[in-house]
């Protein structure tokens, strides 16, 4: 039997996490990152790809993959709008949430 009270605690925890996120956003804002040119180009390609087809029912793993692909596409958008080449790298200022999504994907 599932303890429904634990979900009330989780909801309270989510509220506290969101409050922390608000403070982080106010203090961190954007972070400058340097990316290899090939990685930056792959992110821009993800942004430019047409994924307008209808979705079938997804497993949790498929949903997580699609979510990561969407995060990559948003980084690609930022690169295409404000990234700048410096030698073999691309420098771009990312929103801390996008940088965090990329970091979580690497773990």
> Residue 2: is its pLDDT beyond 90?
no
pLDDT at 44: 98
pLDDT at 37: 97
pLDDT at 71: 96
Q: Is residue 72 part of a domain?
A: yes
Chain segment 7-34, per-residue pLDDT in tens: 899 999 999 999 998 888 888 889 999 9
pLDDT at 54: 84
HEC letters along the chain:
CCCHHHHHHHHHHHHHHHHHHHHHHHHHCEEEEEEEHHHHHHHHHHHHCCCCCCCCCCCHHHHHHHHHHHHHHHHHHHHHHHCEEECCEEEEEEEHHHHHHHHHHHC
Query: What region, left, alpha or beta, does residue 89 occupy, with left being phi > 0 and alpha being psi -120 to 50 degrees?
Result: beta
Could you give the number of structural domains in the chain? Answer: 1
Chain segment 44-98, per-residue pLDDT in tens: 999 999 888 788 899 999 999 999 999 999 999 999 999 999 999 999 999 999 9
> Residue 1: is its pLDDT beyond 80?
no
Give the structural domain span for 76: 29-106
Q: Is residue 63 part of a domain?
A: yes
Q: Is residue 2 part of a domain?
A: no
Q: Is residue 96 part of a domain?
A: yes
């Amino acid at each position: 039997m599932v303890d429904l009270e634990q979900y009330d605690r989780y909801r309270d925890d989510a509220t506290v996490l969101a409050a922390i996120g608000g403070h982080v956003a106010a203090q961190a804002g954007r972070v400058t990152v340097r990316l290899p040119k090939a990685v930056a180009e792959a992110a821009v390609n993800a942004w430019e790809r047409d994924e307008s087809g209808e979705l079938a029912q997804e497993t949790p793993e498929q949903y997580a993959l699609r979510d990561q692909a969407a995060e990559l596409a948003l980084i690609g958008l930022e690169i295409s709008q404000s990234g700048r080449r410096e030698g073999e790298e691309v420098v771009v200022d990312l929103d801390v949430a996008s940088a965090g999504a990329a970091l979580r994907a690497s773990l």
